[in-house]
Structure 1
Amino acid sequence: MAMAAKHRVHNDSPLGDAEAGAGAFVRVIELKGTADNGMSEKGALLAAVHRSKNSQHSLPWRLGLLPSVTPRLRGLILLNMVCIACASAFVVLKEAQETTDPFVFSSIRFVIAAAVFSPFLRKALRDERAVRAGIEIGAWAAGGYLTQSIGMLTADASRGAFLSGFTVVVVPLMAGLFGTAKLKRTTWGAVLGALVGISLLEDSGAPASWGDFWSFMSAVLFGAQIYRAEYWSKQLSAKAAIPMLSVSVLMIAAISLASTAAAHPQATLHLLANPGEAALYLADTQLPWAGIIYMGCGVTNGGLIAEIIALQDVSSTEAAIIYTLEPVFGASLAYVMLGERWGTSGWVGAGLIVASCLAAQLMGVEDLDHTAKHDDPPAKN
């Protein structure tokens, strides 16, 4: 969130003189980007990358990606790739859940993702705040993911993509309602515009369903996650970012497994009593392994790494605009790959949602929290 005295990154940062008053956040775990006068000070824990004095050396392996282009262009390319990957998740979920239980799909997906991040857990356990932050952020994210998966059982992928965009309207609302920011008239206009857009969207294409409700609820839960991630972004140091994320992904995996057990208690008890059958089940060729691995390693882990690299060289405002296009990419992929179609009112509603999200990000709220984080760089006049 933009602070009373704007902070700028150090001169030796790859961001140069770009404002870091509000960063972009990890979209892979639904921590979207916000603008300089928007809703998030540093946009979750990825903002720690912006605060690092030696960020050019903090991720040396980034230099091997797209070496023939400028750092800024590389960042823009990577962010667009992440945005398209996240948009494709709606199509992958929709297709996978025609044959696979959503709880089972999510459990396997996040167990794989958590396994990749497991080397960072030992470091996370040395920092109590990183563990607490990871548990809370992971819990909100897990709720968002599970309701999103349930929603995709009956909702159109394209409609779910645009309903998810309501997240960026929820965040400034929470900041205003809980007294951490002052709501502008633009925010209320964005809320009204988004609601009108949703009503038009529901009136077009496939009939409204409970899946639409769950898709909307996932946006609310992801909004709560973003709001709380803002708080933790002020508490954690730069070196705690990745360890915290390892705890978050592990928490998502744990809640996904618990939800699977709650949804299928008899099958869970049977597999616990006969663990050998669990291995046989996982070896079943009917499981959409391509989609599971793509979502776990590609969208979750690959997207996170790409964002860490990209956000060292791209401003938060540019990232916010790119992320606003995610529903557009999602609807386009659903149009091509799933044959989903809308009427005129549906496209008008989709346009209203995108415009409202962009307005909320670029002109959302005024920060009332003037306390600087302990490892923020000094303000420059």
Structure 2
Amino acid sequence: MWKACLVLAFSSTAIVDAFVATPIRYTRSFSSKKISWNHVVINSAALLPPDDFQSEMDQLIPSDISTNIEQDVADPPLLQQQQGPSVTTGRLLVLAAAALYGTNFATVKVLDEHMPVQWSAAYRFSIAAAACLALTPSEVWKKKDSLNALLGGAQVGFWYALGYLCQSYGLQTVDADTSAFFNAASILVVPALDVAIKGSKFTWNQAASLLFAVGGVGLLELGPSASFNFGIGDYLCLGQAFLFGVGYWVLGSVSVKHRDAAEVVTVGQLLSIAFGFILFAGVGDWPTATEAISWATDPLIVGGILWTGLVSTAMALYLETIALQAVSAAELTIIMASTSIWGSAFAFLTMGELPPPAGIGGGILILIGCLLSAFQKEEEVETVM
């Protein structure tokens, strides 16, 4: 009798284990993002789920659910991944930055007529650097590569500082619209550096673009007297174009390397530029108290410094840094060629400056040469990719 009771108790335990413990094990298998009906084990080896029971359970739960869950675990949602702007957004950001840069030529020329170049630039970039430092979230500085991003931005700022120095002194003897058209030649620097440093091939398109650019520079110097007058200001404007081109080229690699630290890269650029101009201003003549007060109380000077510091410098550099996460340096220079058009338009609206017909033709030739070079480079990049 006791043997029969023992067998009955054992059988009851096995049945409970089969129909109670089994769903728990199915649940555990499901919560681990992987469902495997073949690995269901019941403590009582004598009682296994019948084949028809397993088939019914398979029909209740879609067969691809475990595959989808595993893929979700392996590939986190797109919103959780670091994403840069789209190519279209990047191009629009560059266009906006080019329009802001275009206002610099006339504004800087006005500032330089009312105060020394080195001091207007020192105030301008110090304000820009301070604003970017204040607006940069503290969490950004805690990232591991924040120091490298800052140093990368400082490297770009070194080239930009030299370019802005050439721009400021060149505008003392050259019209703002002419300086703006000269600046378009910076687009030729990026493919030239690719050829010289990266070993890219120099194509016929790039050779043709150089010819157009040289011809455009020549026409820019044809005034009403139809004679060339290439002075120190023109050389400084060409130096500005070269130095800005080097800055674009360096910034292209820095922005891609530090995609999630655009603010830090921008701060590095502005700190480097501001430090350079403060050092340059410090070794020269210091303003008197009367001059300093007159600068601080002149609405034209204060407005010009705030505009060039906060808007056409800090904001433009930030937009440019963000855009380079989506577009190449060569494509950026395509759109940056429009800076000369924006600059000439702004100079005409604010100062009434309009180049002669020969100068307008020269600007068009420069733009054609720039576009030929940049479009060729863009095709080469697409072919490699």
Calculate the TM-score normalised by the size of structure 2: 0.67
What is the distance in 2 between the residues matched to 1:243 and 1:164? 26
What is the distance in 2 between the residues matched to 1:230 and 1:219? 17
Is 1:330 the equivalent of 2:343? Answer: yes
Is 1:151 the equivalent of 2:164? Answer: no
SS where residue 303 of structure 1 aligns? helix
Percent of residue pairs bearing the same amino acid type: 26
Where does the alignment leave 5 or more consecutive residues of structure 1 unmatched? 1-9, 14-51, 57-70, 371-378
- The corresponding residue for 1:105 is 120
What is the distance in 2 between the residues matched to 1:253 and 1:289? 17
What is the distance in 2 between the residues matched to 1:113 and 1:303? 11
The offset of 1:121, in angstroms, is 9.2
Where does the alignment leave 5 or more consecutive residues of structure 2 unmatched? 1-75
Pairing of 1:1-381 with structure 2 (within 5 A) = 12=78, 53-55=82-84, 79-119=94-134, 120=136, 123-124=140-141, 127-204=146-223, 207-234=229-256, 236-264=257-285, 267=286, 280=293, 283-285=296-298, 288-306=301-319, 321-364=334-377, 366=380
State the AA in 2 paired with 1:186.
N
The offset of 1:86, in angstroms, is 1.3
Q: Which range is displaced more, 308-317 or 193-202?
A: 308-317
Whether the aligned pair in 2 keeps the contact of 1:72 and 1:313 (CA below 8 Å) is yes
Whether the aligned pair in 2 keeps the contact of 1:121 and 1:243 (CA below 8 Å) is no
What is the distance in 1 between the residues matched to 2:98 and 2:362? 21
Please give the root-mean-square deviation of Cα atoms over the aligned residues, in Å: 3.8
What is the distance in 2 between the residues matched to 1:82 and 1:360? 21
Whether the aligned pair in 1 keeps the contact of 2:191 and 2:330 (CA below 8 Å) is no
What is the distance in 2 between the residues matched to 1:310 and 1:103? 30
State the AA in 2 paired with 1:216.
L
Greater C-alpha Rg: 2
Closer, same or farther: CA 289–12 of 1 in aligned 2, 3 Å: same
Closer, same or farther: CA 249–316 of 1 in aligned 2, 3 Å: closer
What is the distance in 2 between the residues matched to 1:312 and 1:359? 23
SS where residue 117 of structure 1 aligns? helix
SS where residue 197 of structure 1 aligns? helix
The offset of 1:278, in angstroms, is 9.2
The offset of 1:323, in angstroms, is 2.9
Question: Per residue, is there more helix in 1 or in 2?
Answer: 2
- The corresponding residue for 1:39 is none
What is the distance in 1 between the residues matched to 2:250 and 2:335? 23
What is the distance in 1 between the residues matched to 2:367 and 2:87? 25
Calculate the TM-score normalised by the size of structure 1: 0.68
Structure with bigger RCO (C-alpha 8 Å, 6+ apart): 1
| Corresponding residue pairs, total | 302
